[in-house]
Chains A and B, each alone.
Chain A
């Protein structure tokens, strides 16, 4: 089955520690995205990538870093500079086609908590 796999489902971080969230897709989508969801809020864009080896900051990129070395993979690192990392993190992907509208497809998320 084609889809987006996020791992782990739950992750705990100690103070001052960097952690990396995995996102893999086998949908052959060009674009990938990372969002953060906090209680009572919508999804806020952290980073996105439209092509391998290229990515752009979203609305709340501070304290996060990403890489896009392969089309299928878009890992997110939550650094110690992110002072409030407790949240539900969602990865998404979509094709890029000029002449049609294509929705983003989401993984099942990773819940990150501070120890």
Chain B
């Protein structure tokens, strides 16, 4: 049973526009959500996170929104840059636990 889902395997966005990556989850016991960025043949790098007590967290060009009633989070990147082309994973952590549950990933391509 997939508890964290990224329903879009790929997304293509023009340079300078906004990229919106989506993630849905099913378990209301998750209390911490993260986004990771991954280039081919490398490990994921942490991008931004949000606690379940917040609905928005911003860091430079990256903003994560959390809608707990809909069990949905999204990552906004604006403006999108060519270096943003990568696979993006959302992940969730159960309250009181350390391990993460990952979504399947979305491949973002930024076109010049």
Contacts and interface: CB of A to CB of B under 8 A. Distances in A.
Contacts of B105: 40-42
B45 A104 contact: no
B89 A43 contact: yes
A42 B2 CA distance: 10
Interface in B36-59: 36, 41-46, 49, 51
A109 interface: yes
Contacts of B99: 33, 45, 48, 58
Nearest to B9: A40
Contacts, number: 57
A13 interface: no
A111 B44 contact: no
Contacts of A41: 104-105
Contact of A108 (B32, B42, B46, B104): B42
Interface residues of A, number: 27
Interface string A34-72: 010000111111001010000000100000000000000
A50 B103 CA distance: 23
Interface of B: 4, 6, 9, 32, 34, 36, 41-46, 49, 51, 89, 91, 93, 98-105
Shortest Cβ-Cβ A-B pairs, 10 listed: A106-B43, A42-B102, A103-B46, A43-B102, A42-B104, A108-B43, A101-B32, A106-B44, A107-B43, A31-B98
